Amino acid sequence: MTRVCVVGAGAIGGLIGARLAKTGRAEVSALARGETLAALRQHGWRLKSGDKLITAPVNASQSAGDLGPQDVVIIAVKAPALSELVQSLGPLLTPDTIIVPAMNGIPWWFCHQQPEMNASPVESVDPGGRISRSLPLGAVLGCVVHASARRIEPGFVEEVMWHQMLLGEPFGGASDRANGLAEILNGAGCTTNTSTDIRTEIWYKLWGNLTMNPVSAITGATIEQILADPLVRDLCSAAMMEAQIIGARLGCPVEQSAEARHEVTARLGAFKTSMLQDAEAGRDLELDAIVTAVHDIGHRLGVATPHIDGILGLTRLFGQVRGIYPLVRQID
């Protein structure tokens, strides 16, 4: 039986973990802490999906050593937590373990084979290269999650929408291991497909989140309200055009226009982004992986990003005033 450890049993981690465990096709454990760990130990996995309650037992611990070597490690923590957590994950890993970062924004490995980036880490997503040193690039399977879930309470998650998960080799090509894991996830009701160009898929998702997430956080507005304001809509379009230029330089072209993407996004209606939900709950903002990294990459490539910079500066200040973004993070 495939051994799967979900690192971070929040909204997305809880959704995937519960569905996988319920099938009985995988031995699913959870690395968690605090109230979430206590809830998992008391109740097991709990997922509300429509009018159904999905439950399953779980071996949960705050220590990777208690859980032991895994075949698959799904990392579903918020990006700001990973650089501190990563050094404790060693007991989960073997030479054959597949690491799947089911996270928002730019992953730490994204620019590793980009000559223009000089093979050095993007500090905003991999401070000091700690993540790169702890998680072997050869173990990583790229991932994009197109889904929405919310935490009802610690250890109890509600599935809002699951569209699909995409898996693929970090630097392209067909993949037997991606196909194998996709089969397991599909069997658990988590619609999963594979991609031969996962970096472009990651950049495309980021292209929308880059503006909608921070603007919603600082204004408290839903997607519907943001796109209904022509001035704000134009600001988002201008920032997305800057990101298109950066993406093309990185080999991740986006052919769609910003306006066409807005029309797709508008179908979500009165939807609260994950960053707005975090801001309302007083949780740390995932600003660096979604916005700061794009600023940093653009700076290193010599691409001007005045609109991205403005959104970033306002959101950074918003978070610092409320204590949900670190004061020490400096941005040029």
- Complete DSSP assignment for 146-172: EEEEEEEETTEEEEEEEEEEEEE-TT-
In order of their start, the domains of the chain are: 2-196 (3.40.50.720), 200-321 (1.10.1040.10)
Q: What is the mean pLDDT of residues 22-47?
A: 96
pLDDT above 70 (res 331)? no
Give the model confidence (pLDDT) of 241-298 as tens digits: 999 999 999 999 999 999 999 999 988 888 889 999 999 999 999 999 999 999 999 9
The CA–CA distances, whole Å, from 46 to 19, 41, 187, 261 equal 9, 11, 18, 34
Percent of the chain topping pLDDT 70: 98
pLDDT at site 115: 79
Q: What is the pTM for the complete model shown?
A: 0.93
Alpha-carbon span 223 to 242, nearest angstrom: 21
Strand partners, 309: none
Average pLDDT taken over every residue of the chain: 94
DSSP run (H or E) holding 106 = none
Give the model confidence (pLDDT) of 163-185 as tens digits: 999 999 998 999 999 999 999 99
Tokens 């839903």 correspond to what residue? Answer: 222
* Cα dihedral 316, 317, 319, 324 in deg (nearest 10): 90
Tokens 């995988």 correspond to what residue? Answer: 26
Q: Which of 22, 52, 78, 205 is catalytic?
A: 205
pLDDT at site 200: 96
Strands 156-168 and 142-153: antiparallel
- What is the phi-psi region of residue 163: left when phi exceeds 0, alpha when psi lies from -120 to 50, beta otherwise? alpha
pLDDT at site 153: 94
Three-class DSSP category at 116 = helix
pLDDT at site 120: 74
pLDDT at site 112: 87
Structure token digits, residue 86: 């990563």
**Residue 152 pLDDT grade (very low, low, confident, very high; cuts 50, 70, 90):** very high
pLDDT above 70 (res 80)? yes
Considering only residues 188 and 80, tell me which one the structure prediction assigns the higher pLDDT. Answer: 188
pLDDT above 90 (res 121)? no
pLDDT at site 329: 55
205 catalytic? Reply is yes
Alpha-carbon span 171 to 121, nearest angstrom: 16
Do the Cβ atoms of 83 and 109 come closer than 8 Å? no
Percent of the chain topping pLDDT 90: 86
pLDDT at site 235: 98
Do the Cβ atoms of 291 and 315 come closer than 8 Å? yes
Give the model confidence (pLDDT) of 82-119 as tens digits: 988 999 999 999 999 999 999 999 999 999 888 777 66
Tokens 């704000």 correspond to what residue? Answer: 232
